[in-house]
Structure 1
């Protein structure tokens, strides 16, 4: 059976994924400093980070419309999947679901399933890769849905950012206790719950110590690491990503490792110097 996987643009695609023909990106959009930016292959991270640094206002994002998702579902593929960033962080999941309903109303039945990643960035990447892996094994549609949902349930997301201001100002840290003053150079170690809600796991003075503490959390919660892909995304800090990779590989064995630079939406929330780890 033929298949197609639509990933909203918070999820980065590897070069192999882009070249395969099975993956499509549904772009979110960003407004900052009077500029409207489409999060697609034209996204200029360096230019974007300069705009954010010079603007007194926080960047804002908007998700793909239901019509955009419906257009993605209109294809020759027998099985169509959408992977969105956590429904707790964006309207992308609801938009993809509305697009699915619109498709069924206008075009009839088709095997379409929308996955709420309960994560973001490379968390979505890993989920999309898992779908493709199941499809290549020739699994039935419902079996793939069940397998991938189980995979999402056991996936863990961690991150250390230079600043949480964009998340805070956009209401993505609702319910969290106040984060300690940045004047002390205290960097929180953050993660996502099973429901995709952001939580604080710990903190340390300085980014390097925070990354070490994050690595400790990753290893502490790891199960069957030899069967898992370690995924790391970074916002303009490849050396930092490599440092985290080396730390984790010294403590555990993984099936594979993927390191990607953040696209637009992930760059917006991770901010310059941010690191995200998903396993």
Structure 2
């Protein structure tokens, strides 16, 4: 089955789209025809590199900046998005929203400060909540909302308990929005990666940790950002029109035997 043109004439927003899973998702959606807004919080160079890679591959993309986890972040993001579309003479509105941006907090609960807690929730939970709130008036009927969750919300992993809580909250929001937006033909789903090779996980620099995490998958390897992007692209497509309110395991079968 070919997926060429799967997202033709659609507009997508990918938060945290300059690196890791977000970069792979932005590239995949663009290759399949979408005009992609590549959001970034701090790394302008990485965002521009992602846009240039997409354009070199024949796709269409533009970068937008908004620091997340600060007051007014969602409004700043959508204002940049709206202005960028207008500058391109593109139709206003959005068809696909991928909430991907986030930070990790690799500390057990006894070492988490209130400042740590507030920051990870501000970026990982509060920001996407209000991004989606302000997306409701922009997203077209038949649109797609996809949150990048985590396999850790279904597996006890004390080392990142606080991070996991931020993702579990969004899984719950997925259910509520799926019911609310169903009458408009909008699907809302969570895609949950497992141990994936991205910059967000500095422990992967340790060969022993890499080996242990790879062994958790039935495929005995770490996930690649492209593995997750492929799943997101499907969920964002018309082929997934009958799938909503779901938590989609994209962990590579982590801990299936336990």
Q: How high is the TM-score relative to the length of structure 2? A: 0.33
Return the structure number with greater helix share. 2
Return the structure number with greater strand share. 1
